[in-house]
């Protein structure tokens, strides 16, 4: 059996919910979180998910293939917190809020609410969350449910950024996903910001540009 599935089974809970986020680092676009619960860890499904791992370690094609399998064989939820709210409550709080909403959506779909354990990727716990939870550092490499959540969150966000790229092709979001590559920074200096940028993430860049303009 895949060692990540064994990790979840060893948690000794009836329902293990894994959650992860995508999009904390970029300077454009919303932050996404996904929550996943495998209610039926049958041999066929485990074999189909043989390549299940941290989404960042997988090729886009493998992620896309796994995305459909996970979506159709688990109880799951994917939530986006958009830029306006990120700017109001900061990116960490926005990420944790998205995780909380996604996990609560999964719990509503479970057959019962007994013996639930939520595994949170990283080193933060979800705020104001009533269920048992624990964080797992590098959890997307250790837990099947977290790895599955990381794939749902990343693929959904990448597709979202590709759609935004059609509206604002000058920023190259289909390639950079909103991260501050040199190409993205040059486009920002040329065209300015749009409503999908996170101004708080660009303060240092604009301060640097202002300093350079003094010379």
Residues of the chain with pLDDT under 70: 1, 209-215
- Structural domain harbouring 142: 3-213
The whole-number pLDDT of residue 147 equals 96
Q: What's the CATH code of the domain at 101?
A: 3.30.420.10
The whole-number pLDDT of residue 71 equals 97
The whole-number pLDDT of residue 208 equals 72
| 80: nearest Cα among 66, 97, 68 | 97
Edge-to-edge strands, sheet with 132-136: 75-81, 31-37, 15-22, 116-121, 132-136
The whole-number pLDDT of residue 213 equals 54
The whole-number pLDDT of residue 191 equals 95
> 91-138 pLDDT, tens per residue?
999 999 999 999 999 999 999 988 999 999 999 999 999 999 999 999
The number of folded domains in the chain is 1
């Amino acid at each position: 059996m895949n060692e990540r599935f064994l990790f979840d089974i060893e948690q000794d809970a009836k329902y293990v919910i894994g959650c992860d986020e995508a999009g904390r680092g970029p300077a454009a676009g919303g932050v996404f979180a996904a929550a996943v619960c495998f209610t039926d860890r049958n041999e066929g499904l485990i074999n189909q998910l043989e390549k299940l791992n941290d989404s960042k370690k997988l090729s886009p094609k493998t992620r896309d293939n796994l995305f459909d399998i996970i979506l159709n064989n688990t109880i799951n939820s994917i939530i986006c917190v958009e830029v306006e709210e990120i700017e109001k409550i900061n990116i960490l709080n926005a990420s944790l809020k998205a995780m909380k909403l996604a996990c609560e959506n999964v719990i509503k779909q479970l057959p019962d609410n007994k013996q639930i354990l939520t595994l949170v990727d990283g080193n933060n716990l979800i705020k104001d969350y009533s269920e048992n939870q624990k964080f797992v550092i590098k959890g997307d490499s250790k837990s099947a449910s977290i790895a599955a959540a990381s794939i749902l969150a990343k693929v959904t966000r990448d597709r979202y950024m590709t759609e935004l790229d059609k509206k604002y092709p000058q920023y190259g979001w289909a390639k950079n996903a909103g991260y501050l590559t040199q190409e993205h920074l040059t486009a920002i200096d040329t065209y300015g910001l749009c409503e999908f940028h996170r101004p708080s993430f660009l303060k240092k860049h604009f301060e640097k540009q202002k300093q350079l303009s003094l010379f």
